[in-house]
């Protein structure tokens, strides 16, 4: 979306390895539903310039079965705190994961200059486990 790093090659590589990938579907209240990625030919234009899968919706709770969740962001800091876009969609996802006792790897895809010394955070914010940039991956201590 916008200036975010593209994920098409990653989606295809994962699909080629037989990994089941769920993509978000933005709901009217800014919460997220999920649907399986079945290839680029099954993506449809949606609001806000997004593409969404055309398959069956799996419900907002489908994310609790994930082994890893790729989170969007504007920046991440040295402690792994993520600055989101402000819509709250992924804050709801993270709260849903916590409530379910699920602990998937939380990863943010960013550009190198979006890894900064410090981002503002609020008490409900949760650190991510890693950031991936064109320069490489960095894990954060838990």
> In angstroms, what CA-CA distances link 65 with 34, 35, 101, 103?
11, 13, 10, 9
118 labelled as ligand-binding? no
90 labelled as ligand-binding? yes
17 labelled as ligand-binding? no
121 labelled as ligand-binding? no
23 labelled as ligand-binding? no
73 labelled as ligand-binding? no
The token pair at 53 is 């899968």
Q: Residues within the annotated binding site?
A: 4, 82-90
Q: Residues within the annotated binding site for substrate?
A: 4
Q: Residues within the annotated binding site for ATP?
A: 82-90
């Amino acid at each position: 979306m916008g200036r975010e790093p593209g994920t098409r090659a990653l989606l295809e590589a994962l699909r080629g390895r037989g990994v089941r990938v769920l993509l978000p579907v933005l709901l009217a209240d800014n919460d997220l539903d999920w649907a399986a990625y079945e290839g680029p030919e099954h993506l449809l234009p949606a609001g806000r310039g997004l593409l969404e899968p055309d398959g069956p919706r799996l419900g907002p709770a489908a994310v609790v079965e994930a082994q890893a969740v790729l989170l969007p962001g504007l920046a991440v800091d040295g402690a792994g705190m993520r600055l989101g876009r402000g819509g709250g969609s992924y804050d709801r996802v993270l709260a849903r994961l916590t409530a379910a006792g699920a602990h998937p790897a939380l990863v943010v895809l960013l550009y190198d200059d979006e890894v900064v010394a410090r981002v503002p955070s609020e008490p409900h914010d949760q650190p991510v486990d890693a950031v991936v940039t064109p320069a490489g991956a960095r894990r954060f201590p838990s």
